[in-house]
Amino acid sequence: MSTIAVNSITDASGGNTASINGATPTNDNLMGRNRIINGDMRIWQRATSVTGSTGYSSIDRYDINASTSSLNVVQSANVPSTAGFVNSVKITVGTASSASSAYAYLIQMVEGYNWADMRYGSAAAQTATLSFWVKSSVAGTYGICFRNTGAARFYTTTYTISAADTWEYKTITITGDTSGTWLTTNGIGFQVIFDFGVGTTYSTTSNNAWTTVGSNYFGVTGTTKLASTAGATFNLTGLQLEAGSVATSFERRSYGQELALCQRYCFATINSASSTGSNPPLGFGNARSSTNAYIQQKMPVTMRTSPSVTVINPTSFYLNNTSNVSTTGISLDISGLDMAQLNVSVASGLTSTLPYSFLGSNANGQLIYSAEL
């Protein structure tokens, strides 16, 4: 039987620190450091390629949006060669715009439960550090903004991409905000916003300090605006937000852990291309009439709040008892944190009160449950 050697060693301050198999625990290998979910850009439940991205339509946990310009988003295998990542998010400008009232951005909102220990809004507010790998076809000084729950407190700063089409590692350290209102429940606790083309209407100068504003600012004036250049590209991976003034190594979680974290905010079903009736059901329920059934579907994790549902190709499903009955429509009847009930319609063929399973008839159908911030 193998054993784990735990030795007592003396640290720099003269105290004793446990060593496990010769490795000394440090901040770099502590779990739970990264407040960003899907920072290594691996999870894409909705789609791995979107033309004209609008909101939460592609990569999990990132709202990527533009008003008068257009941003195309794909999952990319182009990553920094020495950092150990598999994926990055690649953003390409389609239609360019530099209008003063325009906006183009990438944002991740951190849930209040995951930011509460930072104690923002109090005298004990902690310093935080953001780190990431970035590559762009347009070199220059870019803006980034941090905001609170209601966008009444903001901190703007910049980072520089020194060379075009070259992966570079960046770190940004911000002081803790001792003022303002910061939710510590399941609402928005903290916001990280990358400015791709936020016009002057929504921008302010880089202040490197927390400020109260009367407008919805989330951009930085005088910085490089990616969205003003058609065809410009921007890759991002290894995004990490943590307590402290030093950027530690990227916290690597298993794929299953990362997927489960994402599913608190979005759960997308996966359908099989087969319609033989042997596929794992997506849910179960009972017919209410010859044309209608209520189907219950279990969420894989407890969601942040009761989700809404988007149905992709509602005719790509069927109900089965002893034979398959193709669906004609699907809507959400009720939803909770861990369960949803669907109202499923068919042209005919159901027997009232009998049980039915709910399955995908091909790979084109998908149910997307959303509880995003």
Give 288-349 as a DSSP string: SSSSEEEEEEE-SS--SSPPEEEEESTTSEEEESSSEEEEEEEEEEEE-SSEEEEEEEESS-
Dihedral angle over CA of 203, 207, 209, 214, nearest 10: -40
Fold of 31-263: Jelly Rolls (2.60.120)
Nearest to 261 by CA among 112, 107, 114: 114
226 near 196, Cβ under 8 Å? yes
Per the listing, tokens 């004990």 go with 124
**Residue 87: partners with Cβ closer than 8 Å, 6 or more residues away:** 40, 41, 42, 75, 76, 77, 79, 237
**Residue 11: partners with Cβ closer than 8 Å, 6 or more residues away:** 17
Domain spans of the chain, in order of start = 1-30, 31-263, 266-370
pLDDT of residue 280: 84
234 near 134, Cβ under 8 Å? yes
- Please state which architecture CATH assigns to domain 266-370: Sandwich (2.60)
pLDDT of residue 92: 98
Determine if the pTM surpasses 0.75: yes
Q: What tens-digit pLDDT sequence spans the chain (373 residues)?
A: 444 444 443 333 344 445 444 445 566 767 899 999 999 999 999 999 999 999 999 999 999 999 999 999 999 999 999 999 999 999 999 999 999 999 999 999 999 999 999 999 999 999 999 999 999 999 999 999 999 988 899 999 999 999 999 999 999 999 999 999 999 999 999 999 999 999 999 999 999 999 987 678 999 999 999 999 999 999 999 999 999 999 999 999 999 999 999 999 999 998 765 545 457 899 999 999 999 999 999 999 999 999 999 999 999 999 999 999 999 999 999 999 999 999 999 999 999 999 999 999 888 999 999 999 9
**Residue 355: partners with Cβ closer than 8 Å, 6 or more residues away:** 284, 285, 286, 321
Residue-wise pLDDT for 74-91, tens only, equals: 999 999 999 999 999 999
Residue-wise pLDDT for 277-317, tens only, equals: 457 899 999 999 999 999 999 999 999 999 999 999 999 99
Q: Give the Cα separation of 323 and 329 in Å (integer).
A: 18
